[in-house]
């Protein structure tokens, strides 16, 4: 094992845990604004939590669009 990496791991034992906690983007899709979409995202997150996926929603007020993102947890 590389001694530099070994020293880094000893200095920060949470390094490995942080890598495991990262979210990996699976897909993203933009569409026209839809006010009720927040309820859909909440429903999906609660229902599919055990599948280790998470849904995110961003709103672009200038373009009047929303983007749904799907992450692997």
Contact 30, 66 (CB under 8 A): yes
In the chain, DSSP finds a helix count (H) and a strand count (E) of: 3, 3
Q: Give the confidence band of 21 by pLDDT, cuts at 50, 70, 90.
A: confident
Report the C-alpha gap between 5 and 71 in whole angstroms.
Answer: 29
Residue indicated by tokens 């599919």: 48
pLDDT tens track for 38-64: 999 999 999 999 999 999 999 999 999
Mean pLDDT across the chain, nearest whole number? 83
Q: Give the confidence band of 20 by pLDDT, cuts at 50, 70, 90.
A: low
Closest CA to 29 of 70, 60, 71: 70
pLDDT at 49: 94
């Amino acid at each position: 094992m590389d001694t530099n990496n070994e020293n880094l791991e000893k200095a920060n034992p949470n390094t490995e845990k942080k890598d495991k906690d990262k979210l990996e983007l699976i897909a993203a899709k933009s569409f026209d604004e839809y006010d009720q979409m927040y309820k859909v995202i909440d429903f999906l997150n609660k229902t599919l939590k055990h599948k280790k996926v998470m849904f995110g929603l961003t709103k672009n007020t200038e373009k009047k669009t929303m983007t749904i993102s799907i992450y692997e947890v």
